[in-house]
Amino acid sequence: MKLQCDVEVVSRMLPTYGMKNRGKGSRAVLSIGRHTEKTTHCNTIYLMICTAKDRAGSKYKLKENIETFFTRFVEEGKATVRLKEPAVDISLSKADAISLKNFLSAARLAHRGNDTENFPLSTLTPVRARDVEKPKKKLTIVSKKDYPLTSNFPYSLEQLQVSYCKLSRVDMRMLSLKALRRLDLSNNHIKTLPSTIGDLGCLAELILHNNHLETFSDALCLSSLQRTLQHLDLSQNRLQALPPQFCQLRELINLKLDDNKLAWLPFHIGRLSKLRFLSAAHNQLAILPGDFRKLTLENLDLFGNPFAHPNPLDHTIQLTFPLTLQEMASRAVVNLRIPYGPHLIPAHLCHDLHASKTCDCGRTCVSFYIKTAVSMNLHLVSQTVVLVDDMGGTDAPVQCHFCSLSCYAEFLDQCLQRGLR
């Protein structure tokens, strides 16, 4: 039984001599194993701690020698073992939480002397220098032959790149790297993303360039990525649409969607208020959602999309008079910001509410509206704009929805006054 973590051994006698501990742990390998006493020839179970300065290790007897365990922060990879003799506290930190729990369970059994014959005990031998070196923060793998098949990824990784390894799925071992801030899986063959990526509570950058992705799941949009994800690269995949919940990723600053098959962007993309860099070149976008006008970008690239030439007089009317009770209720839920979810109303109604549109008057329409499009200069939403087409244009069509005939009539009056045809 072995455990890699930071260790600090603190003598409880220090205050007696007016001294303080230094308060800093060292990288160490802890082992629980048997050692034969030279004098008594008895096999005794010891805890051995090996560090870079003491690779031979210091041994501490475990049987009936543990005063108590402090495990309040074990889920964070922290714990303390208090020994009776010598009077020391062994403070453990920066450990994998699951490995730490297993190690502490083995230490408890060794202390009680229960069923020690069945222990997964280690050999108490000096460790290698690489086993006690500082935790690795960054790892780059760009060849399949370098990909670890039998060993785990270093638990302390903050940046991991695995490219050109022909991965068809995300390795579940990566999803236990709780300190991971940047995950680059570009240039592989990944088709789907597990929802457990959302459990990486520190992930700020997710790079999935040049894979085979066809969907981006609702679950990821509703995970902890809402609070952490700032950079997302989904370029050169096979995406045809993004879910309405995508706009819950409100910390996004940089979003790359180039070279997919996207026919439209999410209705509420304007909710990405922190978004500054957006590229969706070479997709199948014919029109932009009305919410696009709310964005405040620094750089925008929509080159190579088959944008239509809008005419505000061309419209689609999808209204009933009077409105259905369901439509009126749906509009009220959104306008009044009444909480809803699949635990309260049917899932298909939740989907309709997620995809609700905003009229020019500011009110909401859900399933009944009038729809048209107008041309917008993209410089209104971005400081720098990559030309939309080879003709040097920077205009693109934006969808408009109207909740009533009166709102649409008022819009047409404004268009006529501006000379739009």
Tens digits of residue pLDDT in 364-374: 989 999 888 88
pLDDT of residue 421: 43
**HEC profile of the chain:** CEEEEEEEEEECCHHHHCCCCCCCCEEEEEEEEEEECCCCCCEEEEEEEEECCCCCCEEEECCCCEEEEECCCHHHCCEEEEECCCCEEEEEECCCHHHHHHHHHHHHHHHHCCCHHHCCCCCCCCCCHHHHCCCCCEEEECCHHHCCCCCCCCCCCCEEEECCCCCCCCCHHHHHCCCCCEEECCCCCCCCCCHHHHHCCCCCEEECCCCCCCCCCHHHHCCCHHHHCCEEECCCCCCCCCCHHHHHCCCCCEEECCCCCCCCCCCCHHHCCCCCEEECCCCCCCCECHHHHHCCEEEEECCCCCCCCCCCCCCEEECCCCCCHHHHHHHHHHHCCCCCCCCCCCHHHHHHHHCCEEECCCCEECCCEEEEEEEEEHHHCEEEEECCCCCCCCEEEEEEEECCHHHHHHHHHHHHHHCCC
Summarize pLDDT for 262-285 with one digit per residue, the tens.
Answer: 999 998 899 999 999 999 999 999
Mean pLDDT value of segment 188-206: 93
132 pLDDT tier (thresholds 50, 70, 90): low
Mean pLDDT value of segment 311-329: 86
pTM passes above 0.75: no
53 pLDDT tier (thresholds 50, 70, 90): confident
Mean pLDDT value of segment 225-249: 94
pLDDT of residue 221: 92
Asked if the model's pLDDT at residue 420 lies above 50, the reply is no
117 pLDDT tier (thresholds 50, 70, 90): low
127 pLDDT tier (thresholds 50, 70, 90): low
227 pLDDT tier (thresholds 50, 70, 90): very high
Higher pLDDT, 72 or 2: 72
Asked if the model's pLDDT at residue 313 lies above 90, the reply is no
Asked if the model's pLDDT at residue 48 lies above 80, the reply is yes
